[in-house]
Chains A and B, each alone.
Chain A
Amino acid sequence: MDLRFTPEEIAFREEVRRFFREALPESIRRKMVDGRHLDKADIVAWQRILNARGWAVPDWPVEWGGTGWTPVQRYIFQEEMQQAPAPQPLGFGVNMVGPVIIAFGSEAQKRHYLPRIRNIDDWWCQGFSEPGSGSDLASLKTRAERVGDHYLVNGQKTWTTLAQHADMIFCLVRTNPRVKKQEGISFLLIDMKSPGITVRPIVTMDGGAEVNEVFFDDVEVPAENLVGEEGKGWDYAKFLLGHERTGIARVGVSKQRIRRLKELAALEPAGGGRRMIDDRRFREKIAAIEVELKALEMTQLRVVSAERQGRSKKPDPASSILKLKGSEIQQAVSELLMEVVGPYAMPYQPDEEGWNEPPIGADYAGPLAPTYFNWRKISIYGGSNEIQRNIVAKAILGL
């Protein structure tokens, strides 16, 4: 047992840190710190900077642009990126469809899509959930019928994050309604410009426009856009959902938000001439989260270390623990970030390009309550916290 990083790992961390310091555009960093909305151009620009440095897809095999880093290096990179704070490369491409194509796609798919994912030439979105199929994803109804050299797709996806920007969507579709529900599902790559696709925005309660409904009306999809085998889509989806392990807890994000919280607590008046940071109770509330976060960080390091020993190559249920605790901590920090400004959580201040009114209260107050509202999603998406508990109960505890 040894907690310390090796000298090489420390040198690596320095290198990564320096890169983030120098390469991350200030305008993007500022938006990240302030918790403001990033637009498509920001995300594309940053991922291209990473790609130019060769760091857009560290986890991928080297032949497809991966870095060949050890699990510890990958962990350090993730952590530093979250703390910079820099946006993550677009997960739908880099962490989801990319690894699926690498593992199960055809040579042609790999050659065509993988470089474009790395450089975010294609913006990908994830078409899994449907109105009737959320936690019970395997019940999905969107139908794909093989007709000659293409599939004809009909149905609806929902909650599709940032579909409004997307060039491509990867979908779970039902190709065979006559077999057991998990066995009739296939994994299709669909061009968002195909005739018959309609995208309708869903406004979230914070006023954000990040999710959409996507409708498919006789959409023709070339048969070569099938990934792997027909009827194996469910296995690929399980592979995809369990793939990302270390990033899922977002420990670096929570650290960065706590840093921000303390910065604001030092500025924010508490009445009676004091600041919020002078308030012992408030400091204890922060400290309580810091303790939980430290424990989670250690848990995450144990997972990373096990991975290094090669003990678990497959997605393991420990990722459910990381997701559960990580989401609770992020949400708890977002609560304190709202509480710290007291009554100034109330004014609604649009987070829009071209909004030039002077701020109401401090200039940092605007996004805090909306972010608290919005971050309730973290315990819902990607397998809700209830589903994660079911997984742990079954797979770890054998209940």
Chain B
Amino acid sequence: MDFDLTEEQRLLRDAVERLVAEEYDFDKRKAYAQEPAGFSPARWAQYAELGLLGLPFPEALGGVGGTPVETMLVMEAFGRGLVLEPYLATVVLGGGLLLLGGSAAQQQEMVPEIARGRLRLAFAFGERQARYDLADVATTATAAAGGGFVLSGAKGVVLHGDSADRLIVTARTAGGPREREGISLFLVDAQAAGVTVRGYPTVDGLRAAEIAFREVRLGPEALLGPRDHGLDLAERAIDLGIAAVAAEAVGAMSALHELTIDYLKTRKQFGVAIGSFQALQHRAVDMFVALEQARSMSYLATMMAEAEDALQRRRMLSAAKVQIGRSARFLGQQAIQLHGGVGMTMEYKAGHYFKRLAMIDTLFGDADHHLALVAESGGLIDAA
């Protein structure tokens, strides 16, 4: 049992926290959001230089050989800064899928490019009718002559789908529209004929896209992972994503909590700091408890993210997502409440944390969705 960081991990954390403190204050973030891509290409290049874009990849592929703990440290710092760059989409999900399911050729072609900051990916798994059900895939890839495929369908709310060079798309190669079996993953060039990308800002200031595929022709090398049995792969990548956003949420929550505590100490009403009111002290404590519960589950998610036992892994990741969703909802709402009118404004950072936390709940399934998964899998503790 050891929750301590290694020396290297501490250095990494300090470096990323410093980077966020220096390059990601509120005004800079606002300016980055105004750039054409909706984030800062300069920061992206800097992440590449610092090795962050190769963090989870083996050294042989141009990476640093980090574990989920390193990813957690980065995401937590990014959460504090409300970082806009597509780290989750490209490095965690895209890179994760390549490492978990890619052929040697695919890995060698793409992973070093990601690490250098020259290739961006997005994982297009959601569909309008599916809500949070990963197996509900109506997009089809039918076999074509020469071993290739023809891809047709539509994907929705694809994170950073509008700035990706390549998309990784779940599609049905066999089976009925909602079966677990029969799903395969494909690498698709975002510029390919028949691909239409409609990008848009999200309510928390990031970017996403609706993407349509009309008879997009793919070569046999486009297949990523096993044909017809791609759902396990997708789920493993999503679990990496859940661990990452759990850490991001913890970063955002702790920054928001600190902001609130500062405000309680400095805002005066009735001639005293409002933090002297016991009602508010207790609320701040409840928020702190919610934060620490979330932090614990973020650690659990990180430690379980690569577990071999799929059932155990998925249960724990779902449990983490439930806790994160609930803590974030409570802490976010109370932070706004304790700020009074100031918390409601666009000009103040609290609202931006609040919005990001609300949207993290909708990523990869909300708290209700994952609570149902936990319950249906028998819960976390076996009956006596």
Q: Do A and B come from one complex?
A: yes
Q: Which residues of A are interface residues toward B (Cβ below 8 A)?
A: 129, 132-136, 139, 158-159, 202-207, 211, 268-273, 276, 281-282, 285, 331, 335, 338-339, 342-349, 360-361, 369-370, 372-374, 376-377, 379-381, 384-386, 389-390
Q: How far, in angstroms, from A348 to B363 measured CA to CA in the complex? A: 15
Stretch at the interface among B102-110, B254-262, B301-309, B353-361: B353-361
Q: In the assembled complex, which residues on chain B have CB atoms less than 8 Å from the CB atom of A268? A: 131
Contact A346–B359 (Cβ < 8 Å): yes
Contact B358–A203 (Cβ < 8 Å): no
Q: In the assembled complex, which residues on chain A have CB atoms less than 8 Å from the CB atom of B132? A: 271, 342-343
Q: How far, in angstroms, from A228 to B283 measured CA to CA in the complex? A: 41
Q: How far, in angstroms, from A347 to B201 measured CA to CA in the complex? A: 6
Contact B333–A345 (Cβ < 8 Å): no
Q: Distance in Å from the Cβ of A90 to the closest Cβ of chain B?
A: 20
Closest to B206 in A: A346
Contact A346–B269 (Cβ < 8 Å): no
**B178 is an interface residue with CB less than 8 A from chain A:** yes
Q: Distance in Å from the Cβ of B271 to the closest Cβ of chain A?
A: 8
Q: Which of B208, B270, B347, B372 contacts A346 (CB 8 A)?
A: B208
Stretch at the interface among B11-19, B181-189, B334-342: B334-342
Contact B344–A204 (Cβ < 8 Å): yes
Contact B344–A339 (Cβ < 8 Å): no
> Which residues of chain B (199-219) have a CB below 8 Å from chain A?
200-204, 208, 210
A271-B130, A339-B366 known; A369 vs B344 contact (CB < 8 Å): no
Q: How far, in angstroms, from A335 to B371 measured CA to CA in the complex? A: 17
**B312 is an interface residue with CB less than 8 A from chain A:** no
Contact A134–B341 (Cβ < 8 Å): yes
Contact B128–A269 (Cβ < 8 Å): yes
Q: Which of B201, B337, B355 contacts A380 (CB 8 A)?
A: B337
Q: How far, in angstroms, from A361 to B210 measured CA to CA in the complex? A: 9
Q: How far, in angstroms, from A354 to B368 measured CA to CA in the complex? A: 37
A134-B341, A348-B201, A389-B279 known; A343 vs B157 contact (CB < 8 Å): yes
> Which residues of chain B (126-164) have a CB below 8 Å from chain A?
126, 128-133, 135-136, 156-157
Contact A203–B131 (Cβ < 8 Å): no
Q: How far, in angstroms, from A135 to B351 measured CA to CA in the complex? A: 20
Interface digits, B260-274 against A, CB 8 Å rule (1 contact, 0 not)? 000000001111001
Q: Distance in Å from the Cβ of A79 to the closest Cβ of chain B?
A: 28
Q: Which of B133, B277, B351, B362 contacts A345 (CB 8 A)?
A: B362
**B80 is an interface residue with CB less than 8 A from chain A:** no
Q: How far, in angstroms, from A360 to B154 measured CA to CA in the complex? A: 12
Beyond the given A159-B341, A204-B351, please list 17 additional residue pairs across the A-B interface where CB-CB is below 8 A. Answer: A134-B340, A203-B347, A205-B352, A211-B341, A269-B131, A271-B130, A282-B368, A343-B132, A344-B128, A347-B201, A348-B201, A360-B210, A361-B128, A376-B344, A377-B344, A380-B337, A389-B279
Contact A346–B203 (Cβ < 8 Å): yes
Contact A271–B133 (Cβ < 8 Å): yes
Contact A373–B131 (Cβ < 8 Å): no
Contact B358–A344 (Cβ < 8 Å): no
Closest to A358 in B: B198
A136-B270, A207-B346, A376-B333 known; A344 vs B157 contact (CB < 8 Å): yes
Contact B280–A346 (Cβ < 8 Å): no
Q: In the assembled complex, which residues on chain B have CB atoms less than 8 Å from the CB atom of A276? A: 131
Q: Which of A132, A136, A360, A380 contacts B344 (CB 8 A)?
A: A380
Q: Distance in Å from the Cβ of A380 to the closest Cβ of chain B?
A: 6
Q: How far, in angstroms, from A281 to B372 measured CA to CA in the complex? A: 9
Q: How far, in angstroms, from A129 to B341 measured CA to CA in the complex? A: 10
Q: Which of B156, B198, B280, B345 contacts A344 (CB 8 A)?
A: B156
Contact B340–A373 (Cβ < 8 Å): no
Q: How far, in angstroms, from A55 to B128 measured CA to CA in the complex? A: 45
Contact A373–B269 (Cβ < 8 Å): no
Contact B346–A346 (Cβ < 8 Å): no
Closest to A204 in B: B344
Q: Which of A135, A331, A347 contacts B208 (CB 8 A)?
A: A347
Q: Distance in Å from the Cβ of A156 to the closest Cβ of chain B?
A: 13
Contact A338–B156 (Cβ < 8 Å): no
Q: In the assembled complex, which residues on chain A have CB atoms less than 8 Å from the CB atom of B372? A: 281
Contact B362–A384 (Cβ < 8 Å): no
Contact B156–A373 (Cβ < 8 Å): no
Q: In the assembled complex, which residues on chain B have CB atoms less than 8 Å from the CB atom of A349? A: 200
Interface digits, B313-346 against A, CB 8 Å rule (1 contact, 0 not)? 0000000000000000100010011001101111
Q: In the assembled complex, which residues on chain A have CB atoms less than 8 Å from the CB atom of B280? A: 386
Contact A269–B130 (Cβ < 8 Å): yes
Q: Distance in Å from the Cβ of B97 to the closest Cβ of chain A?
A: 19
Contact B131–A347 (Cβ < 8 Å): no
Q: How far, in angstroms, from A172 to B186 measured CA to CA in the complex? A: 65
Q: In the assembled complex, which residues on chain B have CB atoms less than 8 Å from the CB atom of A338? A: 358
A135-B340, A347-B202 known; A361 vs B358 contact (CB < 8 Å): no
A205-B355, A380-B340 known; A270 vs B131 contact (CB < 8 Å): yes
Contact B358–A373 (Cβ < 8 Å): yes
In this complex, the member of B129, B341, B346 whose beta carbon has the largest number of chain A beta carbons within 10 angstroms is B341
Closest to A335 in B: B329
Contact B336–A376 (Cβ < 8 Å): yes
Closest to A374 in B: B344
Contact B203–A380 (Cβ < 8 Å): no
Contact B279–A373 (Cβ < 8 Å): no
Closest to A159 in B: B341
Q: Which of B269, B329, B345 contacts A203 (CB 8 A)?
A: B345
Q: How far, in angstroms, from A399 to B208 measured CA to CA in the complex? A: 52
Q: How far, in angstroms, from A158 to B342 measured CA to CA in the complex? A: 10
Q: Distance in Å from the Cβ of A365 to the closest Cβ of chain B?
A: 10
Q: Which of B130, B136, B337, B346 contacts A205 (CB 8 A)?
A: B346
Q: In the assembled complex, which residues on chain B have CB atoms less than 8 Å from the CB atom of A331? A: 333
Q: How far, in angstroms, from A158 to B345 measured CA to CA in the complex? A: 12
Q: In the assembled complex, which residues on chain A have CB atoms less than 8 Å from the CB atom of B128? A: 269, 344, 361
Closest to A132 in B: B268
Interface digits, B362-384 against A, CB 8 Å rule (1 contact, 0 not)? 11001010011000000000000
Q: How far, in angstroms, from A95 to B337 measured CA to CA in the complex? A: 25
Closest to A181 in B: B271
Q: Distance in Å from the Cβ of A176 to the closest Cβ of chain B?
A: 19
Q: Which of A134, A273, A373 contacts B354 (CB 8 A)?
A: A373
- CB-defined A-B contacts under 8 Å, sample of 9: A139-B269, A202-B347, A270-B131, A270-B133, A281-B368, A373-B203, A373-B351, A376-B333, A384-B340
A269-B130, A281-B372 known; A346 vs B341 contact (CB < 8 Å): no
Q: In the assembled complex, which residues on chain B have CB atoms less than 8 Å from the CB atom of A282? A: 368
Contact B157–A203 (Cβ < 8 Å): no
Q: Which of B178, B202, B277 contacts A272 (CB 8 A)?
A: B178
Q: Distance in Å from the Cβ of A373 to the closest Cβ of chain B?
A: 6
In this complex, the member of A204, A207, A343, A381 whose beta carbon has the largest number of chain B beta carbons within 10 angstroms is A343
Q: How far, in angstroms, from A268 to B132 measured CA to CA in the complex? A: 12
Q: In the assembled complex, which residues on chain A have CB atoms less than 8 Å from the CB atom of B333? A: 331, 376
